[in-house]
Amino acid sequence: MTEILSPTTPAAPGAALHDITYRGFASDNYAGAHPEVLEAIARANGGHQIAYGEDVYTAELQKVVRRHFGPDAEAFPVFNGTGANVVSLQSMLPRWGAVVCSTTAHIHTDENAAPERVAGLKLLTVPTPDGKLTPELIDVEAWGWGDEHRAQPLAVSITQTTELGTAYSVEEVAAIADHVHSLGMTLHMDGSRISNAGASLGVPLRAFTTDAGVDVLSLGGTKNGLLYGEAVVVLNPAAATGIHFLRKLDMQLSSKMRFVSAQLIALYGGDLWLQSASHANAMATRLRAAVVDLPGVTLTQPTQSNAVFAIVPPGVADRLRESFRFYDWNPATGEVRWMCAFDTTPDDIDAFAAALRRELAASTV
């Protein structure tokens, strides 16, 4: 039995402060770091390396990124996804520029207005049924060029996979890029879950980024097993300027950058990104199959990555959260989001589904 410490009793040195067997379904951010990533950090430790990105690990990361995204790609490691998005968009736009994105986009809903307050950009949001923009939806806000009274729509940001767990196909990204470029705009991709998209689509990362016409990419890592760290990846050098200055200005320049780069190398240098994302996606598919026929459960989005969205009866979610943490997506409708991670197990899924069945049965008594 685990000892319960009083508030004044310090933990033993080296002791875990949490139950390492606990799993939740709130976010893939809840998972720890992948063991191979931790090993990579340890290998990068020791001795001295030049700070602020002049280290051998950051140089090696450039080779890894170019293998995935082409010879013109350049990576700029940052601390987190918000920083990657802010630096990316700020480098793509003038002070008067605006970004067209979906109303559910992470840059709009979950970054506390950082793109607007820190980067100084206007977000022009468009409602979408599945989190995905289309050329037609982009046109809802892509207008008014030359009007001094309107923030100028000069970039589009799409999220891959979306906040609703859906994945843009290669063809969908290419159609958006062609349309955006025809309007004289540039295309940013928030790839915080890009590995899940690659695993879902079954194509190389380059297929729906560089080859499809994306200009600048926020390359995710934390949601797929990194301790911390993402990267801005410039795919089209003509689309971004000043990142060397903006990264420092936006407080995203790591002095000991080797430890961020070493993690990204561990993830993308081989197939760890694909293994981990494929597993998380498979666990979401297993979860969907376990709940799809349960009375009272209505699935609201296709499961194309590591997320399951569902509506459950009133009260069921709150009782279930006493054992498994997850978030409401739309409290007004009872819609919830269940996320799987690289370390989610089949037993975790089965235990969650069994608990859900019990709570559903109790709600009908």
What is the tens place of the pLDDT at every residue in 277-290?
Answer: 999 999 999 999 99
Instruction: Report yes or no: 240 and 88 within 8 Å, Cβ to Cβ.
Output: yes
Q: Are residues 219 and 292 in the same domain?
A: no
pLDDT in tens, 50-68: 999 999 999 999 999 999 9
Which residues touch 102 (CB under 8 Å, ≥6 apart)? 108, 125, 126, 127, 128, 131, 132, 133, 137, 158, 159, 162, 163
* 23 found inside a domain: no
Q: Are residues 264 and 279 in the same domain?
A: no
**Domain end: 247, 268, 289, which one?**
268
pLDDT beyond 50 at 126: yes
Q: Give dist(CA 276, CA 270) in Å, integer.
A: 12
Number of compact structural domains in the chain: 2
Which residues touch 179 (CB under 8 Å, ≥6 apart)? 135, 138
pLDDT of residue 364: 74
Contacts 24+ apart (CB under 8 A), 173-179: 173/208, 173/209, 173/212, 173/213, 173/214, 174/212, 174/213, 175/134, 175/135, 176/133, 176/134, 176/135, 176/138, 176/213, 177/212, 177/213, 177/214, 178/213, 179/135, 179/138
Question: Nearest-CA neighbor of 65 among 56, 76, 57, 74?
Answer: 74
Secondary-structure breakdown of the chain: helix, strand, coil percentages, each rounded to the nearest 5: 40, 15, 45
Rounded mean pLDDT, 325-336: 94
Domain of 134 in residue numbering reads as 35-268
Q: Are residues 263 and 283 in the same domain?
A: no
* 26 found inside a domain: no
- pLDDT-derived band at 5, boundaries 50, 70, 90: low
pLDDT in tens, 64-121: 999 999 999 999 999 999 999 999 999 999 999 999 999 999 999 999 999 999 999 9
The CATH number covering residue 299 comes to: 3.90.1150.10
In angstroms, what is the C-alpha Rg of the chain?
21
Q: Are residues 76 and 218 in the same domain?
A: yes
Query: Would you give the end-to-end CA distance of the chain in angstroms?
Result: 34
Q: Is 36 exposed, middle or buried (0-12, 13-18, 19+ CB in 10 A)?
A: middle
The CATH number covering residue 243 comes to: 3.40.640.10
**Domain end: 211, 234, 268, which one?**
268
Q: Are residues 222 and 279 in the same domain?
A: no
Tokens 């069994």, residue located: 354
* 28 found inside a domain: no
Q: Are residues 256 and 301 in the same domain?
A: no
CA dihedral 332, 281, 136, 146 (to 10 degrees): 90
pLDDT of residue 1: 40
Q: Are residues 335 and 347 in the same domain?
A: yes
* 73 found inside a domain: yes
Q: Give dist(CA 54, CA 280) in Å, integer.
A: 34
Question: Nearest-CA neighbor of 208 among 182, 176, 238?
Answer: 176
**Domain end: 238, 268, 298, which one?**
268
* 205 found inside a domain: yes
* 336 found inside a domain: yes
Q: Are residues 248 and 281 in the same domain?
A: no
- What six digits make up the tokens of 207? 């297929």
Q: Are residues 99 and 168 in the same domain?
A: yes
Q: Are residues 226 and 307 in the same domain?
A: no
pLDDT in tens, 182-240: 999 999 999 999 999 999 999 999 999 999 999 999 999 999 999 999 999 999 999 99
